[in-house]
Amino acid sequence: MKSDSSYSFKSLYCAFDRYPLPKGASTHIRYMASTLFAFQSPGMLYLQGDPQMPSWQQETLSLGSNPSEVSSEVSIVRHQLNPSSGNNVLAKALDYANQLGALLRQNRDTLTLAQFRDPWAGVPLLDHRKDNPALKLVYEVNALPSIELPIHLSLPRKTLAKISAWEQRCLDGADLIVTPSKLTAAGLEKRTTTPVVYLPNGAELPPAEPLRQAEDASLPRLIYFGAAQRWQGLRDLLKAFALVRQQLEVRLDLCLSLENRQARQVKAWLKSMELEDCVSLHFGLDQASLRQKIQAASASLAPLTPCRRNMLQGCCPLKVLESMACGTAVIASDLPVIRELVTHEEHGLLVPPSRPSELARACIELLSQPAKAKDLGLKGQQRVAEQFQWQQICAQLSDLYHQLSQGPMQASA
């Protein structure tokens, strides 16, 4: 790894996440970071450490899949993993924060604009700004550790209080907050006077290219793609699919981001429900291969559960937008975060969450009415073209950077 003193950067994007990986967070990071670095360079991308990836590399980040689009050379730095931290997420996060603080101290006068996704980066940046008052800070709130960590970990109340205090310091100390969900934005506006701007996720419209023939192409297909955390509702999906199979011959493409502990649980469900022969399981597909499968499906499923993460924190599911961009009808849980993107019976079908029988009924409806499925898909694609293309979202973010460079943002932004 290069020595800290050898880095020089004017802009910084921080994410306590492994990157790049075949998942929605990596897509979001690429577009947000490339927009930042196009606005202010040279830039640095500071990430969670990964033993499978270099601790330092130089890379070109592009605003889109087209090589002719705006791109920037960026230094990517991954924090050094501490063996004593093991699999302790909080210990890794604190190591990440401490190493970022050291990196900032070595580059005391160069940084002018930084965007961060979590308090582990936000607190060191706020400390750094004490001696660099001209530094502008953008807090990109996609998730709040105080809500998401307890889903995975049993944390003492005192620890949760400290995490919440870090979050609050970042919310109050940032110059601007951006978030991809209206639900999240409404909640944040109750917690801070810092300007909060709704900036949704986006999607790219697929290039015109012939679809590859799928295996068992004579059978209709449904698709789920993304991660396998509990809040995604995969068990409900599989229960619904078992009901659909009782009436129709159909296959399910299950395209998961990673082959991890959650994926192993999904495999166990497939076996116990005797669905292994009609479900195709894929891991880490590249974007082109995944797009082909989405376009070949009669419908794309997003059965989010009504948990605190989806109902209180909020989210902006990339799987929904990317399905719509491909012209594939969406069947999703009827939650406020989904209604921000999909109108029932216009861009897809919305069903009561955690109700496999209702999800199955919607699947059977679109499988039995391919013309309706196609119409919903085309209308969804038009909605993305008009409101949710990444090019549009990145242009809005760049405009926010420009406003921030001119002076303090107003709370009504």
**Do 301 and 320 contact (CB within 8 A), yes or no?**
no
Residue 134 tokens read as 């001209």
Other residues' Cβ atoms within 10 Å of the Cβ of residue 319: 23
Element (H, E) at 197: strand 196-198
Contact 17, 48 (CB under 8 A): yes
Nearest CA to 126 among 185, 82, 166, 84?
166
Backbone angles phi, psi at 124, to 5 degrees: -60, -35
Alpha helices, DSSP H only, in 177-330? Answer: 182-189, 234-245, 261-272, 287-296, 308, 318-325
> Per residue in 326-347, pLDDT tens?
999 999 999 999 999 999 999 9
> So what's the pLDDT on residue 65?
53
Per-position b or e across 53-65, b if 16+ CB within 10 A of its CB: eebeeeeebbbbe
Average pLDDT, the chain: 93
Q: What is the mean pLDDT of residues 346-371?
A: 99
Structure tokens at 161: 């209080």
Considering the domain 221-387 in this protein, what is its CATH number?
3.40.50.2000
pLDDT in tens, 139-172: 999 999 999 999 888 999 999 999 999 999 999 9
> Average pLDDT of 61-65?
66
DSSP letter assigned to residue 203: B
Distance CA 93, CA 26 (A): 18
For 113, the token pair is 């604009």
CB 204 within 8 A of CB 390: yes
pLDDT at residue 220 tops 90: yes
What mean pLDDT do residues 35-56 have? 95
What is the greatest pairwise CA distance in the chain? 67
Least confident of 10-14, 116-120, 202-206, 261-265: 261-265
> Residue 362 — left, alpha, or beta (φ > 0 → left; ψ -120 to 50 → alpha)?
alpha
Q: Name which of 128-132, 216-220, 299-303 the model is least confident about.
A: 216-220
Strand-by-strand arrangement of the 251-256 sheet: 279-283, 251-256, 221-226, 299-302, 330-333, 348-351
**Confidence class for position 259, pLDDT limits 50, 70, 90:** confident
DSSP state of 310: I
Strands 221-226 and 251-256: parallel
Q: Which two tokens stand for residue 273?
A: 């429900």
Q: What is the fold of 4-202+390-406?
A: Rossmann fold (3.40.50)
Nearest to 336 by CA among 144, 145, 181: 181
The residues of the chain that CATH labels 3.40.50.2000 are 4-202+390-406, 221-387
Q: For residues 359 and 260, which has the higher predicted lDDT (pLDDT)?
A: 359
By mean pLDDT, which of 54-68, 197-211, 215-229 is the weakest? 54-68
**For 3-16, what is the mean pLDDT?**
81
SS3 of residue 57 by DSSP: strand
